[in-house]
Amino acid sequence: MKREAFLWLLTATAGATPLVGYNQGTDFDYPGLRFDFDRKFRITMFNDLHLGDGARPGTDDKTIGVMNKVLDAESGTDLVVLNGDLTSCEWISPEAVNSVLDKIIDPLMGRKKPFTATFGNHDMSQTCDTRRMGEHIWDKANAGGRQMTWTTSSVKGDYNDVGTSNYYLPVYSMGGGGNPELKMVLWFFDSKGGRQYQPGGADVPVSDWVDQKVVSWFKLTRDQMQADNGGKPLPSLAFVHIPPSVTVAFQQSGQRKPSTEPGLNEELIGAQANSVPDADGPFMQALVETEGLMAVFSGHDHGIDWCMKYSATRAIPKANPATGNNMHLCFGRHTGYGGYSDWMRGGRHIVVDEDALGLNVLETWVRLEDGSVSGRVTLNSSYSEDVYPLVGKKKSSAFGVGGGAGTNEASTLATTTTTMMTTTTTTSLPTEMIYSKHNSTTSSSGQTQTTDISKTQTTDTSKPTTWTKQTPPMLKPTPSATPTQTPRMSPLPTKPTTSKSAPKIAARI
Ligand SMILES: *[C@@H]1O[C@H](CO)[C@@H](O)[C@H](O)[C@H]1NC(C)=O
Ligand SMILES: *[C@@H]1O[C@H](CO)[C@@H](O)[C@H](O)[C@H]1NC(C)=O
């Protein structure tokens, strides 16, 4: 946020209009997010950083280097989203996790880039508790009175059911001085996966979908916000680490084309509810019912980075629901040198135009660590019909950019993609790529498997059918000063309170 420039503009153009607005002094001190000076809001999403990956030791600095290169290229970024698998936490001891997280937080703080996170299945591990991780991120990044992160946990309940990173973030208008208008909502969900936190104890897999209680919270909160918005749906984006299962149905349907959904398509997608079909149905249904939801962004599958339209008219066989609401689902680019795959690392950039809100239009592309742009698309009403250039399939080796010869999808399409689409479950793709994202530990060679979580996960199919509103949506601010106009502020997320519902631990090692 270019606050100084914004303040200058108001001062220069507002004449005698007082700058003092709702809940605000003479400084422009709104601690949340707003559309920028040019009425754009720019998000850079990093996913699958996999810091601390013991199978790929010494890669953390290279991963941070990718983040820095992408942010150098996308210097207008208003918000950085770390969309899960910040760590390969199964390799990290409970004592060491904060210092690993600091490797991510410090450079973002140095750049004064506001950021926020979801957690992934490798964060939720036997040795790492994502609630404590969220608390550390909050305390560290918001120390000194400056709000730099909103990573929190807004849904109460058992850690192993609801996870941690479920919250929303309001984004306000560029204009409006100290009384800006709520324009957009960013939703963050925890798709869990991984393991229960039991250092030194049992190795217990956790279900890999957004829990029903979180879905209930989402619907209540969304509806309340819409009611407060005069009944008008609010444009929104959502972020969740493991993609909803419609992405699998779409890939298997053959509807995804390299010219209309350009991007890497180098593995079979592992999605939410990988081994319990339809368990993410309530979440998908809620997304489809959400008016104004423009797109859902995920990571998790390091060899996939395209965007699809969940069409309201063209049914996707085996998807449930088969038709959507024209929202888009996008994968990010694998950012980390930790985690499997050596496709060139990068981050996804997303540009929202304040003037196009309500039209369901976004610009997005992948910024690679060599500075180039891959898969630039406009997610608009004709996305899925518009033809785009095929993306290059560049690689960066374990030693950095330039380690692999690039190909483009045209040359390998016939052999790779077509084969994959026509086979059913076991495919021509390297087995390592298909399974490795689900394995909690690997040997130092990265090959020896321990347990494939996706195959052992049969837990937690029974979910409460009703949910008592433990967490009423707190949408009315408590003004500290008399508002001069009707307050239009939705509260910002507050610090996570972990103590009440932190998982029970026999012993902390
Ligand atoms: C959507 O965006 C593409 C790419 O910019 C453009 O060619 C197309 O005309 C747009 N469609 C509509 C309906 O505006
Ligand atoms: C992951 O687990 C699967 C199934 O148990 C196994 O076949 C595969 O080799 C493992 N992959 C890695 C990288 O350990």
Mean pLDDT by runs of 10 across the 509 residues of the chain is: 38 32 43 91 98 96 98 97 98 96 97 97 96 96 90 94 96 87 96 95 96 97 94 97 98 97 97 94 98 98 98 97 98 97 97 97 98 98 98 81 50 37 31 37 35 31 23 26 39 65 35
For ligand 2, what atom is nearest to the CA of residue 340? 13
Contact partners, residue 362, CB within 8 Å, separation at least 6: 237, 294, 295, 328, 350, 351, 352, 378, 379, 380
* Ligand closest in space to the Cα of 365: 1
Q: Which residue has the tokens 């033809």?
A: 387
Residue owning the nearest CA to atom 2 of ligand 2: 452
The distance of Cα 472 from the centroid of its chain, to the nearest Å, equals 24
The one-letter amino acid code at 40 reads K
Distances (CA, A) of 201 to 95, 204, 253, 448: 16, 9, 42, 22
Residue 380 Cα to ligand 1 midpoint, Å, equals: 6
CA distance 410 to 413: 5
Angular region, 410: left φ>0, alpha ψ -120 to 50, beta rest: alpha
CA distance 309 to 327: 6
Determine whether the shortest distance from the Cβ of 450 to ligand 2 is under 6 A: no
Residue owning the nearest CA to atom 2 of ligand 1: 378
Contact partners, residue 122, CB within 8 Å, separation at least 6: 50, 85, 87, 88, 89, 90, 194, 339, 440
For ligand 2, what atom is nearest to the CA of residue 449? 14
**Which two tokens mark 344?**
């060139």
Residue 427 Cα to ligand 2 midpoint, Å, equals: 14
> With contact defined as beta carbons under 8 Å apart, do 462 and 118 qualify?
no
User: Considering only CA atoms, which of 169, 195, 67 is closest in space to residue 503?
Assistant: 195
Residue 350 Cα to ligand 2 midpoint, Å, equals: 34
CA distance 22 to 481: 7
Residue owning the nearest CA to atom 5 of ligand 2: 452
Count the residues in the chain. 509
Determine whether the shortest distance from the Cβ of 446 to ligand 2 is under 6 A: yes
Residue 350 Cα to ligand 1 midpoint, Å, equals: 16
User: Considering only CA atoms, which of 158, 275, 166 is closest in space to residue 218?
Assistant: 166
- Whether residue 244 is preceded by a cis peptide bond, meaning omega within 30 degrees of 0, is no
Counting ligand 2 atoms within 8 A of each CB, the residue from 275, 445, 452, 453 with the most, and so the one to mutate, is 452
For ligand 1, what atom is nearest to the CA of residue 388? 4
Residue 363 Cα to ligand 1 midpoint, Å, equals: 11
Determine whether the shortest distance from the Cβ of 356 to ligand 1 is under 6 A: no
* Ligand closest in space to the Cα of 364: 1
Q: Which residue has the tokens 């909803």?
A: 244
Residue owning the nearest CA to atom 10 of ligand 2: 449
**Which two tokens mark 107?**
């450079």
| DSSP alpha helix (H) spans, 266-357 | 281-288
Determine whether the shortest distance from the Cβ of 341 to ligand 2 is under 6 A: no
Determine whether the shortest distance from the Cβ of 380 to ligand 1 is under 6 A: yes
Determine whether the shortest distance from the Cβ of 359 to ligand 1 is under 6 A: no
Determine whether the shortest distance from the Cβ of 439 to ligand 2 is under 6 A: yes
Kindly provide the residue ranges of all beta strands, DSSP E only, lying in 203-277, ordered along the sequence.
236-240
Q: Is the dihedral of CA 303, 308, 310, 311 positive or negative?
A: negative
Residue owning the nearest CA to atom 6 of ligand 2: 449
Residue owning the nearest CA to atom 14 of ligand 2: 449
Which pLDDT belongs to residue 493?
77
Kindly provide the residue ranges of all beta strands, DSSP E only, lying in 25-122, ordered along the sequence.
33-34, 40-46, 79-83, 115-118
Just give the CATH number of 3-456. 3.60.21.10
Counting ligand 2 atoms within 8 A of each CB, the residue from 122, 274, 431 with the most, and so the one to mutate, is 431
Q: Which residue has the tokens 């593995």?
A: 267
Determine whether the shortest distance from the Cβ of 46 to ligand 2 is under 6 A: no
Global model pTM greater than 0.95: no
